[in-house]
Amino acid sequence: MSTDPLLATIQQLSQTDIGLARALLNVFGTAFEDETTYDASASSDVYLKKLLTRQHFIALVALVDGEVVGGLAAYEMEKLEQERSEIYIYDLAVLENHRRKHIATQLINAVREIAANRGAWVVFVQADHGDDPAIALYSGLGTRADVLHFDIAVAGDEKDTGQG
């Protein structure tokens, strides 16, 4: 991973990095203005350790002077139709005072390297309408596909998915 002193150090988390995982949750909560969802104390150490051992889960943090200032969570999905996989970046955030320093690009490039090492076919990410900085970033790195996204409640659980 990257250790360029002018940029952030990018580190992939392992099962021993529970503290860094909690710091990443704090970054997500702050950056997304959603501390309730990304409450760093909501998941037990046992759960986080188990998640960080799973081959399909990828967690990266961006460190500046030892502090987590950004990161991403991604999932490798094996495909049925062909013998290949795709990497989906589910969450990507950088704290506001560290933005516009190419940290998000470093994180994406690190997951691209992981994808190449795993033989994945593509890395993909979604952006919300109106999130112009994210759209500009992703447009500079890949090909845009306009799609519709639907949240479907789990059977027997008719909870509000937040998509009124």
Pure H helices in the chain: 18-31, 45-53, 103-118, 132-141
pLDDT at 41: 87
Residues in the chain: 164
Q: How many whole angstroms separate alpha carbon 112 and alpha carbon 39? A: 28
Average pLDDT over residues 67-81: 96
Question: What does residue 123 show for φ and ψ, rounded to 5 degrees?
Answer: -110, 135
Q: How many whole angstroms separate alpha carbon 121 and alpha carbon 76? A: 10
pLDDT at 132: 61
pTM: 0.81
**Range with the lowest mean pLDDT among 29-38, 60-69, 128-137?**
128-137
CB 111 within 8 A of CB 58: yes
Average pLDDT over residues 138-149: 66
pLDDT at 154: 75
User: In the structure, what pLDDT confidence band is assigned to residue 125 with cuts at 50, 70 and 90?
Assistant: confident
pLDDT at 40: 84
pLDDT at 147: 65
Q: How many whole angstroms separate alpha carbon 74 and alpha carbon 95? A: 18
Q: Which residues of 47-79 are buried (b: 16+ CB within 10 A; e: fewer)?
A: ebbebbeeeeebbbbbbbeeebbbbbbbebeee
Q: Is the pLDDT of residue 131 over 90?
A: no
**Range with the lowest mean pLDDT among 2-6, 29-33, 144-148?**
2-6
Please provide the DSSP assignment of 103-114 as one string: HHHHHHHHHHHH
Question: What does residue 23 show for φ and ψ, rounded to 5 degrees?
Answer: -65, -40
Q: Is the pLDDT of residue 69 over 80?
A: yes
Q: How far is CA 29 from CA 36, 75, 90, 104, in A?
A: 7, 19, 14, 16
Average pLDDT over residues 89-100: 94
